[in-house]
Structure 1
Amino acid sequence: MSKEISLNQIKAFNEEYYAKPTHLISQRAVKKNGILASSENQSSIVKNNPVFSIDIDTGKVANQKQSGRCWMFAALNTFRHQITDTFNIKDFELSQNYTFFWDKFEKANYFYENILATSNEELSSRKVAFLLQTPQQDGGQWDMLVAIIQKYGIVPKAIMPETFSSSQSRDLNGFLDKKLRKDALTLRTLVAENKSAEEITIEKNKMLQEIYNLLATTLGTPPETFDYSYVDTYGNYHLKQDLTPQSFYDEFIGRDLNDYVSIINAPTTDKPYNQVYTVEMLGNVVGGKEVRHLNVDMPTFKGLAIGQLKAGEAVWYGCDVGQSSTRDSGLMATDVYSVEETLDIDYTMTKADRLDYGESLMTHAMVITGVDLVDEKPTKWKVENSWGDKVGTKGYFVMSDEWLEEYTYQIVINKKYLPKELLEVIEKDDVTTLLPWDPMGALA
């Protein structure tokens, strides 16, 4: 039976609050400066200085601006590092707008297919409600960008530059979601009326044409062929003619993206280590690369990242960036704030508990470009963000090793850095499918 809060209880609560002098000290500080500013530990900033024993030079950071494309920026940045080193092009960027266009277009089709697949379920079913709540969004995961590149290739930013709607995507997302929900109503109605598969396909193709028109109007039209010229750091002029997005990728990047594996650390009881997982209704390209995660323990997780960094290759990774982090100084550390002392509240939860109870999941993707090893053990990590060069150290952040353990969930590793026993796991066709709302399906 529920019980209301009595006035006597409130009086007792008030008396207990004032009985502890530290509450008044915190009250004065927090009322003036807010919770975080009153709790910041300068000692944590000093301890996590931006100096690293392994430090990959990756140049100037990019800026995703007011959009949720961090996963896309992070992935394209890993390719950009290779291009700037190989072709000696200063301040080069790949077109985030190009991949953004095709991701939006493919997500629309992915949504339509999921709506049709669940058309026999009630609107109140959790899966249908899940689809309609967020028909599409800017976020994504590594394998989703792989699916886009494998189908559509890639182009330099100079060929398809940013637009207002790619840099500030809120309005685009609002009108795109509005259309997708309307189309969901139409598709479900056609199914309820027992229309033929051919009739439904014709109607869906009309919808896709309208999606294409909307994206072309807001983001521009993706190029089919193009010429690309640049001057390298030695002053030499180069001209590449009659390129396609696919041929540009082959010539300037050329990686086999199937060699890269998503590695996660999810220490929850429903996800045993050394097994592969996918997530129902998670993806963008119908028929494209499926999102798959190999779950490993934290020592293995960190060892794989270090191995790839030692080989000179940066690491795409996903984390919960809003937890215990500073934006201006660019520090992610579990001791950067002493909120528990300021508020006199114990917030302790294990990583597994935070995942199970909705307190944490992957919210942002960046690139690990360095690590500081002391006696071969990591103490802190260098991170390339995509929020421009006005935050952190010219856009680069520092992540303490303890913070990585608690709030980092995903890294992408080339298969050649995996030990034999993990290679055998991923080569087996043994995949566990998680529910659509599982935290490992979160989009960065």
Structure 2
Amino acid sequence: MTKDISMDQLKKFQNDYENRKDSSVLERAVSHNGILETSADYKSDANMDPVFSIELDTGDVSNQKRSGRCWLFAALNTMRHHMANTLNLKGNWELSQNYVTFWDKLEKSNYFLENVLKTANKPTDSRKVSWLMNSPQGDGGQWDMLCALIEKYGIVPKSVMPETHSSNNSAGLDNALNLKLRHSASVLRQLVAKKATSDKISKTKTKMLNDIYRMLAYSFGKPVQKFNFEYRDKDGNYHIDQGITPKEFFKKYVNVNLEDYVSLINSPTEDKPFNKTYTIDMLGNVAGGRQIKHLNLTMDQFQELTIKQLKNGESVWFGSDVAQSSDRQKGIMDTKQYDRSALFDTDLSMSKAERLNYKESAMDHAMVITGVDIVDGQPTKWKVENSWGKKVGNKGYFVMSNDWFRTFVYQVVINKKYMSDNLKKLQAQKPIVLKPWDPMGTLA
């Protein structure tokens, strides 16, 4: 039986409010200053002093501007850190995010259309079709999706294919591209319903992709096929490699074996036992390319492997829920930064599993861990390279408390050489397929 809020209850609520000694003070404070400002605990600022016992020199931060390509920026940052060391590079050198973005958008479009055809016999109000149409493509992604792109298309320096208005401000293109994809979905589903031949459907889809290629080329520029790689090292020596392809450039200069790097997640929910691998249905970009695959580990294992990689001089790509207990301007991520429970005198606590199960939290942003402060053998805080430019945090770098790491970090990418033989065997398992809307399928 449905029960409304009774007048007796309202009277009780009002009396309770008026009988609290601090109600009027807190009402003035919160109404004038806001919830976060009023609940801020400034002891957190002192505890998040940006000094670390292990710290990598990774140079200036990059800036994704008004786009959602953090996963690309973070991943390419880990690669440029590697290149800077091996080539002794001079200055603020970056790999082209725009080049990878072009191919990601094209491949996501094809991946979407393939899923449209696979679900063409389902009604439009089925959960899978509804999920597909909710966001045909976007800026977000996963580590394995980047690997699939690089394995197919290679990579180039930023100087060869720099940012454009649309890569820096992606909303306009995303809106136009999603309109095109939804229109295409309607056409393809109608062809299937009319029992069109596979050849007719294939030719129609190819025409759609041709139109999408043109939209992307107008917006990002046409991807380069060959280029000259020029640079000066820190000793002032000039280097040039002429007529090199993007795949040759990646193999020769980035020289990272992508097969060595695997995704580890920490999802303490009952539906995902630890020490099992998982993938997500209908999630990816390159059709037939590298599959998204996660090994679920305990947080202690998760952090131990992250520290091992840092100690060996390698930065760590990671995915987290960046908006939680975070101050963008100060560059602080700390669970003790705001105490809203004390402010409102109510229980706002949730476990990590509860946050995932009840949609309070999910991975929505990727960054790079470049340092850690270890005291008495335990991590206390972490140094984070963001991709929001130098005007936030400490010249673009953030400080993350260890409790924030354990609460809001969901994914790290680790070189398999830091994993035990047993963990390698576990990672090699055939993955369990999760539903498309599972929180571990959220794109950073």
Q: Give distance in 1, aligned partners of 2:166 and 2:4.
A: 49
Q: Quote how far apart the aligned CAs of 1:22 are.
A: 2.3
Q: Quote how far apart the aligned CAs of 1:341 are.
A: 1.3
Residue-by-residue CA offset, 1:200-241 (whole Å, 9 max, x unaligned): 000000000000000000110000001121222222221110
**Which residue of structure 2 lines up, in the alignment, with residue 425 of structure 1?**
426
Amino acid at match of 1:297: T
Secondary structure (helix, strand or coil) at the match of 1:369 reads strand
Q: Give distance in 1, aligned partners of 2:272 and 2:38.
A: 38
Q: Give distance in 2, aligned partners of 1:439 and 1:189.
A: 32
**Which residue of structure 2 lines up, in the alignment, with residue 10 of structure 1?**
10
Secondary structure (helix, strand or coil) at the match of 2:384 reads strand
Q: Quote how far apart the aligned CAs of 1:138 are.
A: 0.2
Secondary structure (helix, strand or coil) at the match of 2:292 reads coil
**Which residue of structure 1 lines up, in the alignment, with residue 241 of structure 2?**
240
Q: Quote how far apart the aligned CAs of 1:439 are.
A: 0.2
Q: Quote how far apart the aligned CAs of 1:41 are.
A: 1.2
**Which residue of structure 2 lines up, in the alignment, with residue 331 of structure 1?**
332
**Which residue of structure 1 lines up, in the alignment, with residue 57 of structure 2?**
57
**Which residue of structure 1 lines up, in the alignment, with residue 394 of structure 2?**
393
Amino acid at match of 1:434: L
Q: Give distance in 2, aligned partners of 1:283 and 1:22.
A: 52
| Range moving further from structure 2, 142-151 or 85-94 | 85-94
**Which residue of structure 2 lines up, in the alignment, with residue 45 of structure 1?**
45
Q: Give distance in 2, aligned partners of 1:24 and 1:321.
A: 33
Q: Quote how far apart the aligned CAs of 1:29 are.
A: 1.2
Q: Quote how far apart the aligned CAs of 1:141 are.
A: 0.5
| Gap runs ≥5 in structure 1 | none
Q: Give distance in 1, aligned partners of 2:126 and 2:115.
A: 13
Secondary structure (helix, strand or coil) at the match of 1:304 reads helix
Secondary structure (helix, strand or coil) at the match of 2:147 reads helix
Q: Quote how far apart the aligned CAs of 1:26 are.
A: 1.8
| Structure 2 residue 268 is the aligned partner of structure 1 residue 267 | yes
Q: Give distance in 2, aligned partners of 1:184 and 1:81.
A: 41
Q: Quote how far apart the aligned CAs of 1:272 are.
A: 0.5
| Structure 2 residue 68 is the aligned partner of structure 1 residue 68 | yes
Residue-by-residue CA offset, 1:366-410 (whole Å, 9 max, x unaligned): 000000011221001100000001111110001100011110000
Amino acid at match of 2:30: V
Q: Give distance in 1, aligned partners of 2:68 and 2:344.
A: 32
Residue-by-residue CA offset, 1:394-443 (whole Å, 9 max, x unaligned): 10001100011110000000000001111111223x21000000000000
| Range moving further from structure 2, 377-386 or 226-235 | 226-235
Secondary structure (helix, strand or coil) at the match of 2:426 reads helix
Q: Give distance in 2, aligned partners of 1:212 and 1:353.
A: 42
Q: Quote how far apart the aligned CAs of 1:84 are.
A: 1.4
Q: Quote how far apart the aligned CAs of 1:345 are.
A: 2.1
Q: Give distance in 1, aligned partners of 2:274 and 2:4.
A: 45
Residue-by-residue CA offset, 1:344-367 (whole Å, 9 max, x unaligned): 221111100110111101010000
**Which residue of structure 2 lines up, in the alignment, with residue 439 of structure 1?**
439
User: What percent identity do the matched residue pairs reach?
Assistant: 53
Q: Quote how far apart the aligned CAs of 1:9 are.
A: 2.3
Q: Quote how far apart the aligned CAs of 1:170 are.
A: 0.4
Amino acid at match of 2:166: S
Secondary structure (helix, strand or coil) at the match of 2:22 reads helix
**Which residue of structure 2 lines up, in the alignment, with residue 163 of structure 1?**
164
Amino acid at match of 2:441: G
Q: Give distance in 2, aligned partners of 1:24 and 1:249.
A: 63
User: Runs of at least 4 residues of structure 1 off by over 4 A?
Assistant: none
Residue-by-residue CA offset, 1:302-342 (whole Å, 9 max, x unaligned): 00100100110000000000110100111111000111111
| Structure 2 residue 346 is the aligned partner of structure 1 residue 316 | no
Q: Give distance in 2, aligned partners of 1:119 and 1:151.
A: 28
Amino acid at match of 1:414: N
Instruction: For 1:135-214, list aligned pairs within 5 A.
Output: 135-214=136-215
Paired residues, number: 443
Secondary structure (helix, strand or coil) at the match of 2:330 reads coil
Q: Give distance in 1, aligned partners of 2:47 and 2:305.
A: 25
Q: Quote how far apart the aligned CAs of 1:24 are.
A: 2.2
Q: Give distance in 1, aligned partners of 2:62 and 2:25.
A: 42
Q: Quote how far apart the aligned CAs of 1:8 are.
A: 3.2
Residue-by-residue CA offset, 1:152-177 (whole Å, 9 max, x unaligned): 00000000000000000001000000
Secondary structure (helix, strand or coil) at the match of 2:138 reads coil
Q: Give distance in 2, aligned partners of 1:414 and 1:329.
A: 31
Amino acid at match of 2:225: E
**Which residue of structure 2 lines up, in the alignment, with residue 82 of structure 1?**
82
Q: Give distance in 2, aligned partners of 1:325 and 1:442.
A: 20
Amino acid at match of 1:268: T
Compute the TM-score of the two structures, normalised by the length of structure 1: 0.99
Compute the TM-score of the two structures, normalised by the length of structure 2: 0.99
**Which residue of structure 2 lines up, in the alignment, with residue 20 of structure 1?**
20
Q: Give distance in 1, aligned partners of 2:336 and 2:161.
A: 42
Q: Quote how far apart the aligned CAs of 1:30 are.
A: 1.1
Q: Quote how far apart the aligned CAs of 1:86 are.
A: 1.8
Amino acid at match of 1:358: K
| Range moving further from structure 2, 385-394 or 339-348 | 339-348
**Which residue of structure 2 lines up, in the alignment, with residue 304 of structure 1?**
305
| Range moving further from structure 2, 159-168 or 335-344 | 335-344
Amino acid at match of 1:377: Q
**Which residue of structure 1 lines up, in the alignment, with residue 230 of structure 2?**
229
Secondary structure (helix, strand or coil) at the match of 2:209 reads helix
Secondary structure (helix, strand or coil) at the match of 1:201 reads helix
Q: Give distance in 1, aligned partners of 2:37 and 2:100.
A: 38
- Aligned Cα root-mean-square deviation (Å): 0.8
Secondary structure (helix, strand or coil) at the match of 2:432 reads strand
Q: Quote how far apart the aligned CAs of 1:7 are.
A: 3.0
Secondary structure (helix, strand or coil) at the match of 1:21 reads coil
**Which residue of structure 1 lines up, in the alignment, with residue 287 of structure 2?**
286
**Which residue of structure 1 lines up, in the alignment, with residue 134 of structure 2?**
133
| Gap runs ≥5 in structure 2 | none
Q: Give distance in 1, aligned partners of 2:148 and 2:334.
A: 33
Q: Give distance in 1, aligned partners of 2:280 and 2:23.
A: 45
Q: Quote how far apart the aligned CAs of 1:248 are.
A: 0.8
